[in-house]
Amino acid sequence: MTQQITTTEYAEFVAKVTSKPSTDLNVLIARLQELQDLGANVPQLITASHGISAEAGEFTDIVKKILWQSKPYNEENILKLKKELGDVLFYVQMACTALGVTIDEVLQMNFEKLSARYPEGTFNVNRSENRKEGDL
């Protein structure tokens, strides 16, 4: 059986395995500058990543309430889902801009990746869970 740990021990463990940019502002600033110097659009990437996550959470919250809290699946809630999905796409577009890629290119890459994973054109649990090397 695995060793039982206390919350204090866990906090100490988390502190030890957390990266320096996550705990030291000067290291974070230096990393942000390094990324900017490498050509990364850091502000857009940060905004896009937080925005995608937040808006996907809002979309998920509505679905959760429809599934488990008896919120009606009606035109009003479908409209809310569409609006949240639009917000997700807003931040996806921002991420594409930050990476210098179009949504069409991303869709094509995704199509090619999934076509290689599922050559028969249908979902396969085994291929989903047991990926070939390089299959992200």
Taking only the tens of pLDDT, the chain with its 136 residues reads 788 999 999 999 999 999 999 999 999 999 999 999 999 999 999 999 999 999 999 999 999 999 999 999 999 999 999 999 999 999 999 999 999 999 999 999 999 999 999 999 999 898 899 888 888 7
Secondary structure in 3-state letters for the chain: CCCCCCHHHHHHHHHHHCCHHHCCHHHHHHHHHHHHHCCCCHHHHHHHHHHHHHHHHHHHHHHHHHHHCCCCCCHHHHHHHHHHHHHHHHHHHHHHHHHCCCHHHHHHHHHHHHHHHCCCCCCCHHHHHCCCCCCC
